[in-house]
Structure 1
Amino acid sequence: MEFAEHIKTANVEDVVLRQPLQPPSRGTLCITGHHLLFSDREESDSRQVLLLLRNIDATEKRMSGSSGTITMKCKDLRVLQLDIPGMEQCLNIAHSIETLSCLDCVSEMYPFFYRPVELSLPEQWGLSSPEMHYSQMKELYEKWRLSTVNRDYSVCSSYPPAVIVPKSIDDDTLKKAAKFRQGGRFPVLCYYHKKNGMVIMRSSQPLLGANRKRCKEDELLLQAVIEGSDKGYIIDTRSRQQAQQARMTGGGFESKSFYSRWKRFHRPMERGKALQESLIKLVEACGDESNNMDRWLSKLENSKWLSHVQNALSTAGLLVECVERDGHSVLVHGSEGTDCSLLISTLAQLIMDPCCRTVEGFLGLLEREWIQARHPFQQRCAHSAYSHARLQQESPVFLLLMDCVWQLWRQFPLALGFSEALLLRLATEVYASDYGTFLCNSDQERCALGVKERTHCLFQALLRPTQRDYYSNPLYERTELAIWPSVHPQSLQLWKGYFLRWTQQVRHLEEAQEEIRNMVIEWGKLACS
């Protein structure tokens, strides 16, 4: 497909751009296959605005006489307005924006065309691989092995080619266990706790069905996980009722009769449409300009977003208690095991493991838990809070993770080696990016489309020296202790840096924080000299 087919009017003069925190400006508007470019001709430095069309979530157009106005609501929560002379030009521009911002073909998206001069396509895409991760964890060698049973993605289309499993379980057993789990996602190791040797496993739900089927291979696999221990815990991110209802459609949960040494907890967490609706209500509340305190507090409460934050941190805390305090291994799953399971396992590792709290450690954690373990980014992040086209697969689970990490960062300002700026960058890039990291729904899809050969990796770019310095926390002091977050309502706050970042009040706060950061860095330099 040629992008030019969708561009009837490429350039328009005398356009007025209105954007947050800036005075209106007049200049030239240009539409390309992937970007909207605005050049302010009235400024001596010819100020430009470059907007990735993929970032546009919804457009609204309004005609008035011989001119028109296009309002663009972006996935990063900016709202921009274009006043365009000429009705035909306005309609043409609106059509181009609407079409090019919603292209479904992954290989036509901008990461496949992005070629900055300072970067070359990497020989190794990403920070690590399951093979590299296993090789660096010598503590695993005695009881765990690296299996390539999924090397051609035939056992589980959503797992990477290599996974870590108990050494006593052979590949034939894994294949049979995979048939008993939804989508083939049999239990695999995602975290080994060096302090006591306990582990966190991830999987999807077992396929018991109404007939209460069993799978001896799956039972053997979980038995091997807790060999030498008296019991293990299962954290199911569905309510007991939801898990029981799943049996009517072929799913279910582990039966006490066949998994007698496993104790199950149900910790229901919202996902899918409910979580998406919560985000929409929160963004609507943040955009309310009535200045009515009661109205604001009521809308904030009705969105239930902070309740989802509280629930995620609380469930992650339970997982940490099981592993860190009680000294037992844990299996985490919901239905598919690609959303809430990843959310709480990531938070638990961040709480427990100081290695996950550096810039590189945190990005490596995201790569293992979200990229390699298959969070379906293409489905979940197709739209944000403004779009009128609602798809059933959309859900801001990754954004919820960033919010939860920000709560940790705020409660423990010295314990995390990265800054809020990194969380803001990731929360933005997941919806629209120059990089290929968040493209597709699985490792298999990325390989099929050549994402790893033809696009740049965001995580590698963020670890270049200048970027790493910018996203580092200058106050960071490593601690080996677990950082237990408070989940009391009074301890949780709205993430103003993200949800209110296009307001003047938050901009002043950002400027103050940047000034403090620079002062801390200067003091550090003086102390070292």
Structure 2
Amino acid sequence: MSQPKSKFISYLTQSVAGNSRKSYLVSGGDDEVQESASKFFDVSQQPNLMPGERVIGEVDRVLKYAPYSAGKQGWSGVLCITNYKLGFLTADRSSYEMTGKRNRNKILGDDDIPLTCIDSIYHVASNGKRKKLTLGSRTSAKTETLEVHCKDFRIHKFGFKFTPKDENKRFVNMLVHHAFTTKDTLLFAYEYGRNNLLSGRQMMLECPQFDCILDWEEELRRCHADKTWRVTDYFVVPSALMNTDLQKAAPHFKDRRIPVWCYTHINRNSLVRMSAMDISSDQTKFQQRMLDAVKVASNQRNSPKVVVIEEECPSCQEVQESFTRLRKMCMSDTIEEFVDQDASWLTSLESSRWLLLVARCLKAAKDICEHVISGKRTVVIQGCDMSCLVSSLAQVLLDPHYRTMTGLQGLVEKEWVRAGHPFQKYLALVTPTESSLEQTPVFLLFLDCIWQLMQQFPTSFEFTETLLTTMWDSALIGIFDTFLFNNDHQRVSFSKNDNKNIRQFKLPSAWKWDFQFSSEDLSFFKNPLYLITHDEELRTSINDLRLLSRPGRVCQNSRNNSLRMVQENNVMGAGSAEMDPVRRDVLVPEESPQVLQLWRQCYLRWQSPAQILSGGTPTEYLQQCVMVEEIAQLQHKVKQLELTSNSDVKFRSKNNLIFGSQTNKSNLSELLNSTVLTSSFPFSPGPASKDQQYTFTPISAYIRHSTLDYDRD
């Protein structure tokens, strides 16, 4: 079970590191805040707008309160709403001029809230009465404080004390109207798609999107399954089945989801997904015909193992209810709330049952892998809502390809996007009725399961938890083709305008990460421990150094810089046996709820009292980056010394870590010196206080006493 949150408590009075608020950041009562900043602000300034984005309304003389400041500290400025986001512009010109300021995200400022990320809105009147504003509701009273609760667990509070009553009411009602979109055609993505013609180069990705037959055929070849399975209409079925067989059988399966191929292991056993038979249909012969074809494709004597996923995994209602409790325990905006939550933290965590749901999903995936490996049987996952989660997890356990960044992204495309996971519905991007406001974040549950695996197998994944958290954030931004639609039919309909296809009418993929982040920020996606264990040169150097540390060992330098042992024993040791290749790359996790942890970076990153200053897992990560970079630089210098002439000097290969020699030195210097390190790095700036002085550690401190040399490669 997870440990309680840190009880370190302080107020946040500084902006995100690297954003210059200067003298406009003030503390004290509301009157002092307004008087201090209003004379500097120019209300004619506009926020940075994306193609197709337009300002719908704005209100000035608004106070944005600093979290955990009890309304005593914050910034004065203009609050505006566009057809895409709720934005706040401070009295500091850098909030709308991108000079002297470093935003982590290129398309969203630190004070911008995408409308699709808003979960709930609360109106607080002057008498302190608090009311939740829902779809279709309007307020006639003046709003004293506006609370915006986001789907990423962040809370924003705005003070309207100095705004005129009519402007006040008009703006709040306008926000409620646009935040809860009733039709998918009213989403900003439609305006963005019409006004932003992306070039072919902007759409190119390293990972397959499985939106064409070639991607599926390549995946079949990678799994050595192209002899017995075939591609039809962008999904894969047994080669023995004709298209007419599929057409006859489809109506008898729920949502017409016939058995389709997901993955084939090296022992030729496969994973297959299908829905249950239609309740109104008693023609089980169609299901048996499908399963017989799967059996032939797997070249097995035994029939496939059918796993009814509803019996193994939580239902969507359980996920929704558990997530609601998890969100409640992880969101607070006052010290009093935080202290109350902290006092019963472990009890609340257990009551939420979130880790229990994670455990059930991990166990289901682990059992399926056991059938594939030990049972030597093809497994057919029967179900709908949770089948994408379990199938994806099983493939991550079975195949190291899906533990790479490209592999994981391709897996999401294959098992979630193309299989028709209803992202728009489950993420509540559209709220046609009040009853549909609650999220059912099956995708977040999947990311949490991957995070749990990363804690148990820290060297087996190419990416870090920062990538997983960013994937969740990207799903809530509302402009990416990857997470916007419920199925491919809706996706195709999006590209039509007045029944005319517009080829350029397409949204960017979430996997085009440089659309959102700089190369320096993207380096935080890379796991240095994975690099050590999977880079041949680094792994060889570390193994050789480990051997040299033992007494009685002698070595010689060879021309290719490898260390050659001149003792009798080899590196593997006498008599050592290779592991069974079928099991060698398979992960076998521990799924007991007692060993699982709360994903603190994702759920607690905005709770500044829970953060550890200059500590937490980010410090371990940065030290690992320094270690890998030092080894790579030393290895490169040894090679340079061995070369016969300076003309033979070669630059060492890129490792894409934050301290890599290939990074832009000016951008990197700005990032290293301006970013404050906390346990929520790189998402939250961490707590600070005007009245008390704390020691902050910029990440540049991690290279001050290292051997890293940025002046030469």
Instruction: Give TM-score scaled by structure 1 length.
Output: 0.82
Q: Counterpart in 2 of 1:456?
A: 508
Q: Counterpart in 1 of 2:706?
A: none
* Structure 2 residue 188 is the aligned partner of structure 1 residue 110: yes
Shift of 1:170: 1.2
Shift of 1:97: 1.4
Q: What is the CA–CA distance in structure 2 between the aligned matches of 1:435 and 1:518, rounded to whole Å?
A: 30
Q: Counterpart in 1 of 2:63?
A: 16
* Structure 2 residue 361 is the aligned partner of structure 1 residue 289: no
Q: Counterpart in 2 of 1:154?
A: none
Alignment of 1:153-172 (within 5 A): 161-172=233-244
> Does structure 2 retain, via aligned residues, the 8 Å contact 1:409–1:416?
yes
Q: Counterpart in 2 of 1:141?
A: 226
> Does structure 2 retain, via aligned residues, the 8 Å contact 1:347–1:405?
yes
Q: Counterpart in 1 of 2:557?
A: none
Flag the structure with larger Rg.
Answer: 2
* Structure 2 residue 519 is the aligned partner of structure 1 residue 474: no
Q: Which runs of 5+ in 1 are unaligned?
A: 148-160, 240-266
Shift of 1:307: 0.9
Shift of 1:429: 2.1
> Does structure 1 retain, via aligned residues, the 8 Å contact 2:189–2:479?
yes
User: What is the DSSP-based 3-state SS (H/G/I as helix, E as strand, rest coil) of the residue aligned with 2:314?
Assistant: coil
Structure 2 counterpart of 1:73, one-letter code: H
Structure 1's 165 and 351: CA in aligned 2 closer, same or farther, altered over 3 A? same
Deviating more after overlay: 374-383 vs 279-288? 279-288
Structure 2 counterpart of 1:11, one-letter code: E
> Does structure 1 retain, via aligned residues, the 8 Å contact 2:61–2:76?
yes
Alignment of 1:379-418 (within 5 A): 379-382=425-428, 389-391=434-436, 394-418=439-463
Deviations 1:465-515 (Å, cap 9, x if unpaired)?
A: 826533111211349521211112221011111221211255437865444
Deviating more after overlay: 496-505 vs 207-216? 207-216
Q: Counterpart in 1 of 2:173?
A: 95
Structure 1's 390 and 432: CA in aligned 2 closer, same or farther, altered over 3 A? farther
Q: Counterpart in 2 of 1:303?
A: 352
Q: What is the CA–CA distance in structure 2 between the aligned matches of 1:473 and 1:25, rounded to whole Å?
A: 37
Structure 2 counterpart of 1:64, one-letter code: S
User: What is the DSSP-based 3-state SS (H/G/I as helix, E as strand, rest coil) of the residue aligned with 1:137?
Assistant: helix
Structure 1's 233 and 56: CA in aligned 2 closer, same or farther, altered over 3 A? same
Structure 2 counterpart of 1:319, one-letter code: I
Identity of aligned residues (%): 25
Q: Counterpart in 1 of 2:314?
A: 270
* Structure 2 residue 416 is the aligned partner of structure 1 residue 370: yes
Q: What is the CA–CA distance in structure 2 between the aligned matches of 1:516 and 1:127, rounded to whole Å?
A: 33
Structure 2 counterpart of 1:12, one-letter code: V
Q: What is the CA–CA distance in structure 2 between the aligned matches of 1:136 and 1:212, rounded to whole Å?
A: 33
Q: What is the CA–CA distance in structure 2 between the aligned matches of 1:135 and 1:445, rounded to whole Å?
A: 26
* Structure 2 residue 370 is the aligned partner of structure 1 residue 321: yes
Shift of 1:119: 7.2
Structure 1 counterpart of 2:244, one-letter code: D
User: What is the DSSP-based 3-state SS (H/G/I as helix, E as strand, rest coil) of the residue aligned with 1:186?
Assistant: coil
Instruction: Give TM-score scaled by structure 2 length.
Output: 0.62
* Structure 2 residue 601 is the aligned partner of structure 1 residue 497: yes
User: What is the DSSP-based 3-state SS (H/G/I as helix, E as strand, rest coil) of the residue aligned with 1:331?
Assistant: strand
Q: Counterpart in 2 of 1:204?
A: 275
Structure 1's 135 and 283: CA in aligned 2 closer, same or farther, altered over 3 A? closer
Alignment of 1:249-268 (within 5 A): 267=312
> Does structure 2 retain, via aligned residues, the 8 Å contact 1:169–1:224?
no
Structure 1's 435 and 527: CA in aligned 2 closer, same or farther, altered over 3 A? same
Alignment of 1:38-117 (within 5 A): 38-41=88-91, 49-64=111-126, 68-84=144-160, 85-114=163-192
Deviations 1:150-177 (Å, cap 9, x if unpaired)?
A: xxxxxxxxxxx32111111211111122
Q: What is the CA–CA distance in structure 2 between the aligned matches of 1:290 and 1:425, rounded to whole Å?
A: 28
Q: What is the CA–CA distance in structure 2 between the aligned matches of 1:45 and 1:174, rounded to whole Å?
A: 57
Structure 1's 212 and 178: CA in aligned 2 closer, same or farther, altered over 3 A? closer
Q: Counterpart in 1 of 2:612?
A: 508
Structure 2 counterpart of 1:458, one-letter code: A
Structure 1's 112 and 525: CA in aligned 2 closer, same or farther, altered over 3 A? farther
> Does structure 2 retain, via aligned residues, the 8 Å contact 1:145–1:166?
yes
Structure 2 counterpart of 1:145, one-letter code: R
Shift of 1:12: 2.1
Deviations 1:25-75 (Å, cap 9, x if unpaired)?
A: 111222222122212215877776122122111111123287621110111
Q: What is the CA–CA distance in structure 2 between the aligned matches of 1:93 and 1:127, rounded to whole Å?
A: 43
Q: Counterpart in 2 of 1:258?
A: none
Structure 1's 517 and 290: CA in aligned 2 closer, same or farther, altered over 3 A? closer
Shift of 1:206: 1.6
Deviations 1:200-236 (Å, cap 9, x if unpaired)?
A: 0001102365857532533543443444332321110
Of 440, 448, 465 in structure 2, the residue corresponding to residue 420 of structure 1 is: 465
Structure 1's 164 and 393: CA in aligned 2 closer, same or farther, altered over 3 A? farther
> Does structure 1 retain, via aligned residues, the 8 Å contact 2:79–2:88?
yes
Shift of 1:123: 5.2
User: What is the DSSP-based 3-state SS (H/G/I as helix, E as strand, rest coil) of the residue aligned with 2:144?
Assistant: strand
Q: What is the CA–CA distance in structure 1 between the aligned matches of 2:95 and 2:343, rounded to whole Å?
A: 45
Structure 1 counterpart of 2:60, one-letter code: E
Deviating more after overlay: 73-82 vs 10-19? 10-19
* Structure 2 residue 590 is the aligned partner of structure 1 residue 486: yes
> Does structure 2 retain, via aligned residues, the 8 Å contact 1:208–1:214?
no
User: What is the DSSP-based 3-state SS (H/G/I as helix, E as strand, rest coil) of the residue aligned with 1:80?
Assistant: strand
> Does structure 2 retain, via aligned residues, the 8 Å contact 1:67–1:86?
no
Q: What is the CA–CA distance in structure 2 between the aligned matches of 1:407 and 1:42, rounded to whole Å?
A: 41
What RMSD over aligned residues (CA atoms) do the two structures have, in Å?
A: 3.3
Q: What is the CA–CA distance in structure 2 between the aligned matches of 1:397 and 1:526, rounded to whole Å?
A: 40
> Does structure 2 retain, via aligned residues, the 8 Å contact 1:352–1:483?
yes
Shift of 1:521: 2.7
* Structure 2 residue 72 is the aligned partner of structure 1 residue 32: no
Q: Counterpart in 2 of 1:441?
A: 486
User: What is the DSSP-based 3-state SS (H/G/I as helix, E as strand, rest coil) of the residue aligned with 1:201?
Assistant: strand
Structure 1's 67 and 379: CA in aligned 2 closer, same or farther, altered over 3 A? closer
Q: What is the CA–CA distance in structure 2 between the aligned matches of 1:493 and 1:62, rounded to whole Å?
A: 36
> Does structure 2 retain, via aligned residues, the 8 Å contact 1:418–1:473?
yes
Shift of 1:425: 1.1
Q: What is the CA–CA distance in structure 1 between the aligned matches of 2:607 and 2:432, rounded to whole Å?
A: 21
Structure 2 counterpart of 1:142, one-letter code: K
Q: Which runs of 5+ in 2 are unaligned?
A: 1-51, 102-109, 128-141, 332-336, 497-503, 536-583, 634-713
Q: What is the CA–CA distance in structure 1 between the aligned matches of 2:408 and 2:346, rounded to whole Å?
A: 33
Structure 1's 387 and 200: CA in aligned 2 closer, same or farther, altered over 3 A? same
Q: What is the CA–CA distance in structure 1 between the aligned matches of 2:198 and 2:524, rounded to whole Å?
A: 18
Q: What is the CA–CA distance in structure 2 between the aligned matches of 1:472 and 1:112, rounded to whole Å?
A: 33
Q: What is the CA–CA distance in structure 2 between the aligned matches of 1:34 and 1:185, rounded to whole Å?
A: 35
Shift of 1:333: 1.5
